[in-house]
Structure 1
């Protein structure tokens, strides 16, 4: 991100922070510097972690819910440093005495904070800290429940939440072509490979979000359309975001509009292969969303008003690329 920030003008950078792998002061200085180098194009993504085994390798040995208590103290110091330039905290997990930031970030009071978590502890944590609450691509009814929970958690702290969704995309000229592409993507996966991946995903994770992803398909490849045009095939072998919207530009745009109606205003997008699918999304889907692209002379199916798009923090949806 630091290298690309100096070579680009509009590209935004969603950079992860894992509390506990370094001090809040260290991360605050890195974030402020990167925001300055990018001239205010930094977005921050909190990743608390969902595997006790993986976290142990980073020297973090806290149980699931306690990790969010630790993260709350971590970001109390982090945010105070970013926003005021100094912080002191004698906490249960984090101790800082007259920590100082140095140079402030460009974005005020600080770069926006993104976060996704599905457990009660995660959503309660998000209510007090997070600017953009994220969900993986679950069926709309489940997303609506999570949004309602996150709104209540934020309101209890006198805050307002905004919402984003993490999705893969398989977009083709027609619905049939898109479904054929989805089938090809997993056509060489053996049942043994799927079973092995599912065993790892279920045994090595205490993530509620991961459990919800697995529950969409339960390791079965015969019932992968878990909601209209929402396909869970990727989650057969991939941890984390395991669903894709599959279809023609009009179909996928309509499904995105359903999420938008629930309160989603940001989409973090990816696909396989990433570069090729990024071009397809730009060339085929963007015009349907009212976004500029190689074929932006086409009229959006929802009329002249831009359905998704815009820039900065807040407002209309930003389609953010993620690896």
Structure 2
């Protein structure tokens, strides 16, 4: 089981939909979160991408020297940069970080944002372009270890004699993560990804998606790893956790929710549509669980105004750990989590839930844990369950 955290390069706050409680999301803050995640024993951090985010590659590069073990899951955006240039960037970051790079292939689903970046392909064409992009990227990276050039002539992209003179540290290339809910997305994952990611849907829905991708991968003679992207709201007691969820959306109003949902409805992302269908814009400030707790301890309230991953695990440490174990039983091993505000919740989740989960990286960390008492009495250690 590998637990990742999140660098909020699009901003951070104690409340959704308002500047109240907002934090300055600058490099110093990103560095604080990265150092905390590294020291606490998280496997890595996801660095998001998009017009609303700081550039993920520059942020990742800036955090190398601040961390020791932490891996960086960084976005590849087909169409924004040539696949060979992207391969050089990835190989450089992988070498400079000591082999700590993971890449996240992102096709995008917001027509307005895509047009702003000069991308005018429809949904099917974007996936066709992405398939050509990642094939070139993977081949150039793989062949770099032997110095062999690569030719490719596709519908959207082509290269002749492409080569990478300085190979990545990881062989054949840094692992490729990819998420998507449509048929073309599942095909792309099955053919070329190393890890398939899903957003946090109820376990039955996740099981169906994993089974479909697994079957498509088997048809290509491939086996993938699997992961999930979720928010978390964990407190000592269940009541405290739901009060925290209530507080998170306490500044929202119906107009803000309606405006966000209208924007999401304009996207052609199947995954975003599935997120919206989990809550359908329903919002009862007096009872945030009503209509939004879509599965035990799985809450769709974040997706009222946040695009992308819109669900959170809400509960006490035992409940949250149990839900994670349920997903793990489906074959998921990568859990990419976040919470508001991200620095505080990185500590809270690690302190409350890590001891209840089988985490190899956490077990490798050595050092004092807790305050020594009476000049030498060591605090009792909580065993994993």
Q: TM-score, normalised by structure 2?
A: 0.76
CA contact (8 A) 2:199 2:309 kept: yes
Q: Separation in 2 of the partners of 1:43 and 1:237? A: 28
Q: CA deviation at 1:152?
A: 1.1
RMSD (Å), alpha carbons: 1.3
Q: CA deviation at 1:106?
A: 0.6
Structure 2: runs of 5+ lacking an equivalent: 1-59, 284-289, 371-379
1:5 aligns to what SS in structure 2? Answer: coil
Q: Separation in 1 of the partners of 2:251 and 2:174? A: 42
Q: How does 1:68-147 map to 2 (within 5 A)?
A: 68-85=127-144, 86-147=149-210
Moved more, 115-124 or 67-76: 67-76
Q: Deviations over 1:254-284 (max 9, x none)?
A: 0011101111111001011111111110111
The structure 2 residue matched to 1:185, chosen from 233, 248, 257, is 248
Q: Separation in 2 of the partners of 1:212 and 1:201? A: 11
CA contact (8 A) 1:49 1:55 kept: yes
Q: CA deviation at 1:6?
A: 3.0
Structure 1: runs of 5+ lacking an equivalent: 302-323
2:349 aligns to what SS in structure 1? Answer: helix
Q: Deviations over 1:93-123 (max 9, x none)?
A: 1111111211001101110000100000110
Q: Separation in 2 of the partners of 1:61 and 1:198? A: 23
Q: How does 1:215-254 map to 2 (within 5 A)?
A: 215-221=277-283, 222-254=290-322
Q: CA deviation at 1:2?
A: 1.1
Moved more, 80-89 or 102-111: 80-89
The structure 1 residue matched to 2:259, chosen from 193, 196, 211, is 196
The structure 1 residue matched to 2:272, chosen from 192, 206, 210, is 210
Pick 1 or 2: higher relative contact order, CA cutoff 8 A, min separation 6: 2
Q: Structure 1 segments of 4 or more deviating over 4 A?
A: 293-296
Q: Does 1:267 align with 2:321?
A: no
1:135 aligns to what SS in structure 2? Answer: strand
Q: Separation in 1 of the partners of 2:279 and 2:66? A: 42
2:333 aligns to what SS in structure 1? Answer: strand
Q: How does 1:138-157 map to 2 (within 5 A)?
A: 138-157=201-220
Q: Separation in 1 of the partners of 2:66 and 2:191? A: 35
Q: Does 1:29 align with 2:113?
A: no
The structure 2 residue matched to 1:160, chosen from 218, 223, 230, is 223
1:264 aligns to what SS in structure 2? Answer: coil
Partner of 1:305: none
Q: Separation in 2 of the partners of 1:276 and 1:290? A: 22
Q: Separation in 2 of the partners of 1:27 and 1:184? A: 41
Q: CA deviation at 1:88?
A: 1.1
CA contact (8 A) 1:74 1:94 kept: yes
Q: CA deviation at 1:290?
A: 4.0
CA contact (8 A) 2:143 2:163 kept: no
The structure 2 residue matched to 1:60, chosen from 106, 110, 119, is 119
CA contact (8 A) 1:6 1:37 kept: no
The structure 2 residue matched to 1:288, chosen from 356, 367, 370, is 356
Q: How does 1:294-305 map to 2 (within 5 A)?
A: 297-301=381-385
- How many pairs are equivalent? 300
Partner of 2:107: 48
Q: CA deviation at 1:219?
A: 0.2
Q: Separation in 2 of the partners of 1:17 and 1:171? A: 31
Q: TM-score, normalised by structure 1?
A: 0.90
Q: Separation in 1 of the partners of 2:358 and 2:224? A: 25
Q: How does 1:2-17 map to 2 (within 5 A)?
A: 2-17=61-76
Q: CA deviation at 1:3?
A: 2.0
Question: Measured at CA, do residues 290 and 155 of structure 1 come closer, stay the same or move farther in structure 2, by a change above 3 Å?
Answer: closer
